[in-house]
């Protein structure tokens, strides 16, 4: 039997969010709050990781694909103590230690969990309660200590009198318990309080009265903040972003022109000497290489970007792979599993489900959809692949070194052979052999003196 398990409470309604979305699914730096909590617990190896769900249970459960999580349902939301007791079945026969927290406390780091567990075991405690000194403790249960500094109990804000309300040490809902002591104490809870709920916090008083050892561990109030409303969500987002951006600068060696205005998701990795301009959003599972420049107001999501690539102002690149030494934008849109070869240049056009080879020049307002472009090809200004016939998407193939004149329309499915030329303004409906010239436009006619006669 494993020595360590965890319980995350995520069954409540989250009323104060004023949202149809269950609170654990609200996102923080691109990831649901609950996934931050689980990610911080994971390195400690708790087994099982129990998550208590209730309101929006199916929606929460189906958002996650975490094989080591055991979902337990709290049918009725009768309070945090009742929620914790809903883990009883999942932890039947478990006699080790259990880390307990809530889905709305997403900034706690693994290092802090290690410290809490370490202290708990060193002191042989039945319960370890993490507390923090808040400048404004509004919303937190207040920690009541006796003259010797021992924790006696926790009073919820709704149950505070004038004196306890004035205390600024808050319970942050980050705990470690000996599992048997927790489940025994939970049977003693009574909902005789202002909110008529079974409070997990009352376990502290139950254990103290049973002369079991309860110890406090002090933490940084920012790290253990709880999120009950959208203002707190925005504040947490800012704190987490600060942490991610410091890591980008100090560990990855990345220059952020304005860290206050740079938005990087937690799983993004960045290469050394890359420079990121304000307003850039790097989202999802994105990797950016070394010596890249990411321009202002660029969005890159779920992409791999090679070394020395420059993504200019206002470009959007999603679910695509970009090689080395590439230039993209300004105002390019590259998406849906496209790939761009080394040293290729894409200007302000759109590239969709397409594969561009190396050294391609596609600099001015083109549209390439379902297209394969060979190495060294040139795509003229405003050239378009007409990939959609109203029913299906059809492929276009442009061979190595081909030259597509400005404003050409390539009606797919069509193949332009290696080294072929397509004259500007042509509408191409038939395949073009290698090294051929395709002309598909009306021949120009000049009428001498026409204008002079017209004006008379
Ligand atoms: C709780 C603590 C408070 C602490 C604060 C720290 C209690 C009674 N209070 O208050 O001492 O200062 O966290 O952030 O524990 N939940 C359920 N089932 C329920 C009720 C709640 O699963 O029946 C879950 C919620 O989804 C949430 C968590 O428990 O994730 C905490 O509930 P919430 O109502 O936010 O408690 P707080 O008022 O923040
Ligand atoms: Ca809360």
Closest ligand 1 atom to residue 12 Cα is 26
Closest ligand 1 atom to residue 141 Cα is 11
Regarding the beta carbon of 77 and ligand 1, being less than 6 Å apart is answered yes
Q: Token pair 């230690």 is at which residue?
A: 97
User: Would the pLDDT of 154 be above 80?
Assistant: yes
Distance 185 CA to ligand 1 centre (A): 18
Distance 39 CA to ligand 1 centre (A): 20
Distance 225 CA to ligand 2 centre (A): 9
Q: What's the 3-state SS for 108-170?
A: CCHHHHHHHHHHHHHCCCCEEEEEEECCCCCCCEEEEECCCCCEEEEECHHHCCHHHHCCCEE
Regarding the beta carbon of 86 and ligand 1, being less than 6 Å apart is answered no
120 part of the active site? no
pLDDT at position 13 is: 87
Distance 91 CA to ligand 1 centre (A): 21
Rounded (10°) CA dihedral 443, 446, 447, 448: -160
Q: Are 177 and 160 in contact (CB under 8 A)?
A: no
Taking the CA of 11 as reference, the closest ligand is 1
How does the average pLDDT of the chain come out, rounded?
97
Closest ligand 1 atom to residue 82 Cα is 23
Regarding the beta carbon of 171 and ligand 1, being less than 6 Å apart is answered yes
What crossing angle do the helices spanning 179-186 and 202-209 adopt, rounded to 10°? 100
Going by pLDDT thresholds of 50, 70 and 90, the confidence category of residue 2 is: low
Q: Strand 69-73 and strand 97-102: pairing?
A: unpaired
Distance 104 CA to ligand 2 centre (A): 6
pLDDT at position 430 is: 98
User: Would the pLDDT of 408 be above 90?
Assistant: yes
- Beta-carbon contacts of residue 12 (< 8 Å; ≥ 6 apart): 23, 54, 55, 77, 83
Percent of the chain surpassing pLDDT 70: 100
The CATH classification number of 4-218 equals 3.90.550.10
Mean pLDDT value across residues 53-79: 96
Percent of the chain surpassing pLDDT 90: 99
Distance 102 CA to ligand 1 centre (A): 7
Going by pLDDT thresholds of 50, 70 and 90, the confidence category of residue 224 is: very high
Ranges of each domain in the chain: 4-218, 230-438
Q: Token pair 């050239």 is at which residue?
A: 383
Regarding the beta carbon of 169 and ligand 1, being less than 6 Å apart is answered no
Ligand 1, atom 1, lies closest to the CA of 173
Taking the CA of 157 as reference, the closest ligand is 1
Q: How many helices (H) and strands (E) would you count in the chain?
A: 9, 41
User: Would the pLDDT of 366 be above 80?
Assistant: yes
Q: Are 403 and 420 in contact (CB under 8 A)?
A: yes
pLDDT in tens, 239-289: 999 999 999 999 999 999 999 999 999 999 999 999 999 999 999 999 999
State the greatest distance between any 2 C-alpha atoms of the chain, in Å, as a whole number: 112
pLDDT in tens, 425-438: 999 999 999 999 99
Burial group, residue 287, by CB count within 10 angstroms (0-12, 13-18, 19+): middle
pLDDT in tens, 80-95: 999 999 999 999 999 9
Ligand 1 pocket test, candidate residues 38, 80, 133, most atoms within 8 A of CB: 80
Set 235, 297, 313, 364: catalytic member? 364
pLDDT in tens, 291-301: 999 999 999 99
Ligand 1, atom 26, lies closest to the CA of 12
pLDDT at position 1 is: 41
Regarding the beta carbon of 37 and ligand 1, being less than 6 Å apart is answered no
Closest ligand 1 atom to residue 200 Cα is 15
Q: Which CATH superfamily, name and number, covers 230-438?
A: Hexapeptide repeat proteins (2.160.10.10)
Residues with CB under 5 A from ligand 2 (ion): 104, 226, 228
Q: Are 158 and 221 in contact (CB under 8 A)?
A: no
Ligand 1 pocket test, candidate residues 12, 133, 192, most atoms within 8 A of CB: 12
> For 180, what's the count of Cα atoms within 13 Å in the CB-facing half-sphere?
6
């Amino acid at each position: 039997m494993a020595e360590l398990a965890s319980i995350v409470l995520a069954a409540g309604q989250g009323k104060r969010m004023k949202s149809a979305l269950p609170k654990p699914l609200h996102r923080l730096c691109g990831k649901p709050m609950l996934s931050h909590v689980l990610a911080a617990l994971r390195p400690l190896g708790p087994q099982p990781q129990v998550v208590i769900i209730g309101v929006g249970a199916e929606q929460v459960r189906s958002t996650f694909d975490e094989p080591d999580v055991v979902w337990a349902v709290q049918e009725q939301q009768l309070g945090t103590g009742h929620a914790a007791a809903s883990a009883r079945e999942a932890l039947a026969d478990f006699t080790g230690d259990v880390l307990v927290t809530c889905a709305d406390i997403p900034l706690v780091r693994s290092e802090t969990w290690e410290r809490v567990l370490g202290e708990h075991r060193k002191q042989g405690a039945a319960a370890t309660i993490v507390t923090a000194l808040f400048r404004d403790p509004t919303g937190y249960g207040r920690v009541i200590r006796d003259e010797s500094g021992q924790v006696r109990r926790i009073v919820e804000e709704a149950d505070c009198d004038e004196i306890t309300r004035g205390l600024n040490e808050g319970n942050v809902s980050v705990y470690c318990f000996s599992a048997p002591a927790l489940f025994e104490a939970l049977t003693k809870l009574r909902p005789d309080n202002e909110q008529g709920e079974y409070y997990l916090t009352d376990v502290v008083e139950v254990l103290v009265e049973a002369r079991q050892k309860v110890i406090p561990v002090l933490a940084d109030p920012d790290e253990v903040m709880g999120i009950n409303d959208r203002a707190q969500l925005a504040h947490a987002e800012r704190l987490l972003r600060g942490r991610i951006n410091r890591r980008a600068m100090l560990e990855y060696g990345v220059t952020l022109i304005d860290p206050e205005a740079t938005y990087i998701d937690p799983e993004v990795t960045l290469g050394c000497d890359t420079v990121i301009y304000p307003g850039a959003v790097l989202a999802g599972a994105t990797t950016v290489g070394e010596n890249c420049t990411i321009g202002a107001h660029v969005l890159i999501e779920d992409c791999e970007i090679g070394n020395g690539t420059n993504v200019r102002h206002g470009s959007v690149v999603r679910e695509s792979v970009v090689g080395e030494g590439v230039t993209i934008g300004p105002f390019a849109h590259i998406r849906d599993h496209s790939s761009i070869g080394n040293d290729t240049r894409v200007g302000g056009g759109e590239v969709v489900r397409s594969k561009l080879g190396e050294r391609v020049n596609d600099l001015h307002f083109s549209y390439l959809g379902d297209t394969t472009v060979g190495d060294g090809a040139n795509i003229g200004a405003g050239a378009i692949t007409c990939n959609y016939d109203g029913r299906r998407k059809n492929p276009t193939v442009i061979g190595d070194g081909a030259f597509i004149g400005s404003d050409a329309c390539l009606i797919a499915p069509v193949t332009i052979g290696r080294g072929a030329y397509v004259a500007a303004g042509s509408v191409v409906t038939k395949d073009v052999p290698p090294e051929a010239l395709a002309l598909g436009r009306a021949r120009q006619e000049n009428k001498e003196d026409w204008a002079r006669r017209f004006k008379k």
